[in-house]
Amino acid sequence: MTDARPIPPSVLVTGGACFVGANLVPALLAAGARVRVLDDCTTGDPSRLADEVDLVRGDVRDADAVRAAMEGVDAVVHLAAAGSVIQSIEDPATNFDINARGTLTVLTEAQAAGVGRFVFASTGGALIGNAPPPVDETSVPRPISPYGASKLSGEGYCHAFHGAYGLPTIALRFANVYGPHSERKRGAVTTFIHHALAGEPITIHGDGSATRDFLHSDDLVRGIVAALSSGVTGVVHLASERETSIEELARLILTAAGADVDVEHRPARRGEVERNFALARRAAEELGWRAEVDLAEGMAETVEWFRRHAARAPAT
């Protein structure tokens, strides 16, 4: 295991007013870091941020805004992205512009500012594609959606900036993250919870046998903090190492919500992988990290958060 280092004194979080950022920023503050957030607030909610957070409103594709946000920071966590597989299929150019060009802009300004640590939010399943699970850092990426391709591009630029400029970069391949503050996140978990709490039927695309690796936001935040506090570079999977079918996910959510609604099936959608879960051995060995939150308990907690906060229905 790599020796842990102190957390960087000042951290910029792009997309920090969105789901993952809303969980990460309080943890960084609790660890003693000064936090700045760069967010255009189109999907992010600035009310999630504590008063001591320095919010810069701007787009990651805007070099001037990124340069201003980068001033004086020691490390960057680059979360900002267009995260929908389906939307990337509908509009691949915009997905590329935000995810690939935006990441290049953030890397360029981080290198120019002399940032000492760069953490990139990548993905596992969408980037690797339809490979037999479990996958890990040695799996050959063959994305089947523009979203997956854009994240692979981001990983490539991180690797290039490390090699060409000496910028210490680590790409964390997130599993399917769920948890509090995810009411605006696109995906099955959010959609299923909203429908279950509203007493509406749940729709599954496909026969329900497709699988994913679901990771609670508390576990993810611990992984990001561990990555910030280490010198590990390259690609690291953060995953639960558990394969869960979409049918099982629906049952867990319906049980947690106490809902008795129909589950309807529609044709599977192109661009979505059939099976996915990952091994997180490198995270365990080099970051000292393992997922800890039980899926049933974590999903019940998440459903209760949605119930208490009367989260509004997501855009579809």
Query: Measured between alpha carbons, how far apart are the two ends of the chain, in Å?
Result: 42
User: Which DSSP category does 83 fall into?
Assistant: -
Domain with 283 in it: what CATH number? 3.40.50.720
Q: Do 288 and 222 meet the contact criterion of CB atoms below 8 Å apart?
A: no
Cα(275)–Cα(212) distance, rounded to whole angstroms? 6
Dist CA 248 CA 60 (whole Å): 37
∠ CA 189-51-118, nearest 5°, is: 65
Q: Give Cα 224 to chain centroid, integer Å.
A: 10
Interval 170-204: pLDDT, tens: 999 999 999 999 999 989 999 999 999 999 999 99
Angle of the 102-113 helix axis to the 63-70 helix axis, nearest 10? 40
191 in a structural domain: no
Question: Which pLDDT score is estimated for 47?
Answer: 93
Q: Is residue 52 part of a domain?
A: yes
pLDDT at 1 over 60: no
42 falls within a domain:
yes
**Between residues 290 and 313, the one the model is more confident about:** 290
Mean pLDDT score across all residues of the chain: 95
pLDDT tens track for 14-57: 999 999 999 999 999 999 999 999 999 999 999 999 999 999 99
Q: Hey, which residues are catalytic here?
A: 147
Residue 127 CB neighbour total at 10 angstroms: 27
Q: At 310, is the secondary structure helix, strand, or coil?
A: coil
φ, ψ dihedrals at 25, nearest 5°: -55, -45
Reference 117, options 236, 24, 8, 237; nearest CA is 8
Asked, for residue 257, whether it belongs to a domain, the answer is no
Contact residues for 17 (Cβ-Cβ < 8 A; gap 6+): 37, 39, 41, 44, 45, 46, 48, 49, 55
User: Is 185 inside any structural domain?
Assistant: no
The angle formed by the CA atoms of residues 176, 26 and 55, to the nearest 5 degrees, is 100
**pLDDT tens by residue, 45-102:** 999 999 999 999 999 999 999 999 999 999 999 999 999 999 999 999 999 999 999 9
Sign of CA dihedral 268, 272, 273, 279: negative
* C-alpha to C-alpha distance for 49 and 161, rounded to whole angstroms: 30
Helix axes 217-228, 19-30, angle to 10 degrees: 50
User: How many domains would you assign to the chain?
Assistant: 1
CA–CA dist 160, 143 (Å, integer): 20
Predicted confidence at residue 316, as pLDDT, reads 40
Mean pLDDT over 262-282 rounds to 95
CA distance linking residue 174 with residue 15, whole number of Å: 15
User: Tens digit of pLDDT for each residue in 159-171?
Assistant: 999 999 999 999 9
In a domain, 117, yes or no: yes
Q: Model confidence at 3, in pLDDT bands (50, 70, 90)?
A: low
Q: 313 pLDDT band (50/70/90 cuts)? A: very low
Tell me whether residue 1 is in a domain: no
Give the DSSP letter of residue 71: T
Whether 54 is covered by a domain: the verdict is: yes
Domain membership of residue 32 as a residue range: 10-178+214-241+276-293
